[in-house]
A = this chain, B = another copy of it.
Amino acid sequence: MTLDLNCDLGESFGAWRMGDDLGVLPYVTSANVACGFHAGDPATMRATVAAAVTHGVAIGAHPSLPDLQGFGRREMRIGAEEAYAIVVYQVGALAAFARAAGTHLVHVKPHGALYNMAARDRTLADAIAAAVRDVDARLVLVGLAASELTSAGVRAGLRVAHEAFADRRYRADGSLAARGTPGAVIDDVDDAVAQALAIATGRPVATVDGTLLTVVADTLCVHGDRADAATFARALREGIVAAGVSVAPLGVDARA
């Protein structure tokens, strides 16, 4: 068994810092790099790509709704044409930094509200998948496990990666319990590692609804905005490896 560990990185903007990129990079296998619409100005994107290359971490685009002030977390009613265009734009911008650094993008994972909307809205999901395919059909599309977005990726002929969360609890239907509801976030690192191991080894996890749910996933999200992000990332990786699951970026063999 192999699992990817992905983390949102490069979410500083101009003079403002966010996250502990250098603390987390040693432990993850994929970096979702902000592309300027919710965070990540061009100079930050360049520096983040360079850091990922140094750590041998695979690089992916993390496109967002255009909402710097809301950090891409506010849902916005956009049409399919607009969604297609903003994804092409952002993936292309980051791809250029990858190319300038002598590497290439491996994956695309929508950010925040765009990720959540695409998990449940088929039209939006298809627009995003088409954008990714039209820019580079070898890219892996990362979405919430068993969501409209991963389905759209399959329809578009893309390789997809189903994403699961170690530190968030699920509802019985496989969606994430909303932040702010009791029990939605798993603060304790040991508990989060335990959920990660369950997912990694095919065992069910307890949902907030009191049921058990088996989450099948290709990649685990490592939240980089936790105060203990580096500690958490390290514990997650070491726990998973100790359980006999290997960690590797998505699609490592894709361009062989």
Contacts and interface: CB of A to CB of B under 8 A. Distances in A.
Task: Among A14, A82, A86, find the residue whose CB has the most chain B CB atoms closer than 10 A.
Answer: A14
Interface stretch (A70-78, A162-170, A190-198, A247-255): A70-78
A52 interface: no
Given A16-B16, A89-B96, 6 more contacts: A41-B69, A42-B82, A76-B77, A88-B96, A92-B92, A92-B99
Interface string A1-24: 000000000001111111000000
A81 interface: yes
Contacts of A42: 82, 85-86, 88-89
A126 to B, nearest CB: 15
B136 A99 contact: yes
A115 interface: no
A93 B99 contact: no
B74 A75 contact: no
Interface in A54-92: 66-71, 73-78, 81-82, 84-86, 88-92
Contacts of A97: 88-89, 92
8 contacts: A14-B71, A16-B16, A42-B86, A43-B82, A66-B67, A90-B93, A92-B94, A99-B134
A222 interface: no
A183 to B, nearest CB: 23
Interface of A: 12-18, 36, 39, 41-43, 45-46, 66-71, 73-78, 81-82, 84-86, 88-97, 99-100, 113, 131, 134-136
Interface centre among A85, A89, A135 (most CB of B within 10 A): A89
A234 to B, nearest CB: 25
Nearest to A41: B69
The 7 closest A-B pairs by CB, nearest first: A92-B96, A16-B16, A42-B85, A100-B134, A15-B71, A42-B89, A75-B77
A92 B15 CA distance: 24
Contacts of A94: 92
B69 A69 contact: no
A232 to B, nearest CB: 19
A255 to B, nearest CB: 17
Contacts of A66: 67, 69
A185 to B, nearest CB: 17
